[in-house]
Structure 1
Amino acid sequence: MIAEKRLRDRGQAFPIYVVVVAGLLFAALAFFAVGQASVTRSNAQGAADAAALAAALEARDNLVPGLDLALLKPKDWEDVLDGGRLYLSKGCEEAPDFAARNDATARCTRTALSFTVEVRTNRTVGKSVIPDTDSMHGTANATAVIEPRCHLGSPTPPTQPADPPDAGSEDPAPIKIRCRGGKEVDFDPLKPNPWRTLARTLFDVRLAD
């Protein structure tokens, strides 16, 4: 009788074991699916951050076509230092290419010196025990801003030559620029520095909080 009772108990417990094991297996697969979704979302955010920063950097490093810094008057430099002469539309033109390098598609919008990129990964979460994950793409957005960090200082008086110059032939004075942290930049119209080098001093680029 005791042996028969033990066999009966084991027979009754076996379905419970099956249910418990199946539940644990489902939970493990669901947890894995959540992990896959998290990785996909992380990839999307990384692509968005990279594309937004790249758009802002591309805009910062390029001036509007045809602009010659050597011909600008001091008052025109105020607009340059405020970001008004940057080739801003070029940034959003480049954003989709940068997103594609991270296996994603992107849409970029610009407001003043701010670039917002919305990204969708080409890859999906993949098949899992959770329905429709094989059609779920990672999405994210990021905003990068260009921040002016300098202002116009007093023009540097030109060096007077030994012989008086002819009327109307006076060389333009170098432009003195003062930046945060006490840094000073002298732009010499006769020996202009490349804009990309100058821009990295004049402007900061960062992701918006």
Structure 2
Amino acid sequence: MTQRMILINSPFFFSEERVKTVADWSEVFGNSAPLSLEIGCGTGHFIVERARRNPHRNYLAIDIFNRGCHKTCRKLEDEGISNVRVVRAEARHFLSHHIRPASLGEIFINCPDPWPKKRHRRRRLVSAEFLPLMDFALRADGDFYFSSDVADYARDVAHLLSEHPGYGPAHAAPLLNELPDYPRSKYMLRSLEQGGPMYFVHFRRQARNVEVAPPLVGPGFRVNWATSCP
């Protein structure tokens, strides 16, 4: 059943057409504070808390679903958080077209669709094919955070980053069962309340060795993106 499209009338929301007018996100925020990106903001629990704790940073929160963008905007307004902008976008297309090189200090991906069936794993967001987009957007000393309640997905991401040039684990181990002071998304809270595990990956960009932009990614959702997944 097709979901009803919710009209989002919020100063924090950027539609597809509005995003096309943005040349530099610092102009949108009115300052040059460090910029962070959450991919898949869901209902906004994580990004609102992260932005509250870090008022000196600017945040972009993107989600492919209109309903998630609407809920995140409502939560921002209800709690008086002003350093976040919400965009309805597919992650790879957004990184490819709307983020300047070396402009992000942090990227967060919390509990993305795990596509648990083996034949569907090429649809997972974080893959070897995703890394060049992240490379181009993330500045030196930038941080990449990933969380999942699916062990094999988290292990795959930790392995990918461990083998990828220019990155190193920010903690003693590449895969963690706890990340202190890391806000919880609504999905994470529900999973933990049900007694499920949670896995975290936190890597830091040690050097920028990519200056050539990756090929532009066309719009799409849940496509057979990756070619190298097991």
TM over 0.5, shorter chain: no
Decide which structure has the larger Cα Rg and report it.
1
Given the two structures, how large is their TM-score scaled by the length of structure 2? 0.21
Looking at secondary structure, tell me which structure has more helix per residue: 1
